[in-house]
Structure 1
Amino acid sequence: MSQTILYARVSTADQTIEHQLTQAEAAGFRIDEVIADHGVSGVTSRLADRPEGRRLFDKLRTGDTLVVRWVDRLGRDYRDVTDCIRHFMRRGVVVRTVINGMTFNGATTDPVQQAVRDALIAFMAATAQAQAEATKAAQKAGIEAAKAEPRKYLGKKPSYDHAKLAQVLSMSAEGAGTSVIARATGLSRQTVLRIKGDPAAAEAVLERWA
Structure 2
Amino acid sequence: MTKIGYARVSTVDQDFEIQQQRLHAEGCQIIRSEKVSGASREGRTELATIIEFLREGDELIVTRLDRLGRDTRDVLNIVHECEQRGAFVTILDPHVSTRGEMGQVILTVLGMVAQMERRFIKERQREGIHRAKSAGKYKGGAIRIDHQKVRDLSASGIGATAIAQAIGCSRMQVYRVLNSNKS
For the superposition of Structure 1 and Structure 2, which TM-score range results when normalised by the shorter chain?
0.5 to 0.7
1:143 aligns with 2:129: yes
Q: Which residue of 1 aligns with 2:7?
A: 8
Q: Which runs of 4+ in 1 moved over 6 A?
A: none
* Corresponding residue pairs, total: 137
* Residue number in structure 1 paired with 2:41: 46
1:56-86 CA distances to partner (integer Å, 9 max, x unpaired)? 1221111111110112112111111111112
3-state secondary structure, aligned to 2:121: helix
Pairwise CA RMSD: 1.9
> Structure 2: how far apart are the matches of 1:16 and 1:141?
27
- Superposed counterparts of 1:82-161, under 5 Å: 82-105=76-99, 113=101, 116-149=102-135
Aligned equivalent of 2:64:
70
Deviates more, 1:56-65 or 1:89-98: 89-98
**Equivalent residues of 2:96, 2:106 under 8 A apart:** no
* Contact in 1 for aligned 2:61/2:90 (Cα 8 Å): yes
Residue aligning to 1:170: none
Aligned to 1:35: 32
Which one has a larger percent helix, Structure 1 or Structure 2?
Answer: 1
Using structure 1 for the length normalisation, give the TM-score.
Answer: 0.59
Change (3 A) 1:118 1:31: closer
Q: 1:144 is paired with a residue of what secondary structure?
A: helix
Structure 2 distance, partners of 1:8, 1:30, is 14
Distance 2:34 2:136 in 1: 40
Q: What stretches of structure 1 of length at least 5 have no aligned partner?
A: 152-210
Structure 2: 5+ residue runs without aligned partners? Answer: 138-183
Deviation, structure 1 residue 87: 2.0
Tell me by how many angstroms 1:89 deviates: 2.0
Indicate the SS of the match to 1:52: helix
Give the alignment of 1:9-24 within 5 angstroms. Answer: 9-13=8-12, 15-24=14-23
Structure 1, residues 150-209: CA drift from partner, whole Å, max 9, x if none? 66xxxxxxxxxxxxxxxxxxxxxxxxxxxxxxxxxxxxxxxxxxxxxxxxxxxxxxxxxx
Structure 2 residue identity aligned to 1:17: F
What is the CA-CA distance between 1:95 and the residue it aligns to? 0.9
Amino acid at match of 1:127: V
